[in-house]
Copies of this chain bind each other. A is one copy, B any other.
């Protein structure tokens, strides 16, 4: 094969990657895109390297390891959330804290809807990290929510309880709601989507009869309704 004199590698550094040099933002964007397209199991260091036209080890300059890369996916999600949140920021000052909380929750829901296969990472990686070590974008989100609650007049204990309820509901809702999107979007017949055949009608009669209704998504309205109910209780 023809190569430069001096027996260097076949590719010049200026040709590296598909568009010049690597950086953390490009790495995370490529990882997010790969996971969106092919799922979490497709994300490996070698594969992501190939996606960027680079060897696997090159990625270690921008993430200390695979776990950090997964945390980076969560970070990317929250950065996208902030981008969606920013435009209405000035008008937000006028609306009350409750409406603003709804706005944030809905925006989070929408971002997750755009990246359903990343959602499991919220439960597995984000919550696994000890709060202060979470990505800055995540901490800023926490700060926004907590500020709204305290400015609403809640004391420390109630703020904490309301924050936990907010987080649990939002996380649980997107988890149960967005999963079906990943499963098998091809099959249109809800009966087969659920695999209702072979489910014994005598042992599980109620499940079998309500199953078609269960696949119907709750949508943003369901999220808002539950959030309202919880805020009534905890705030």
Chain A positions within 8 Å of B, measured between CB atoms, are 120, 123-124, 127-128, 130-133, 139-140, 142-143, 146-147, 150, 156-157, 159-161, 163-165, 167-173, 175-177, 179-180, 182-184, 193-199, 203-207, 209-211, 213-214, 216, 218, 222, 225-226, 228-230, 232-234
Contact = CB atoms under 8 A, between A and B. Distances in A.
Given A130-B184, A133-B195, A172-B175, A232 B229 contact: yes
Contact of A167 (B124, B176, B184, B207): B176
Most interface-central of A139, A140, A169, A232 (chain B CB within 10 A): A169
A210 B157 CA distance: 8
Nearest to A129: B183
A170 B172 contact: yes
9 contacts: A120-B123, A123-B124, A127-B175, A131-B194, A146-B210, A160-B214, A163-B214, A172-B175, A226-B233
Given A124-B124, A142-B207, A146-B210, 14 more contacts: A120-B124, A123-B123, A132-B197, A140-B203, A140-B204, A142-B204, A143-B205, A164-B173, A165-B226, A167-B172, A167-B176, A168-B176, A225-B234, A228-B233
A205 to B, nearest CB: 8
Contacts of A168: 169, 172-173, 175-177, 226
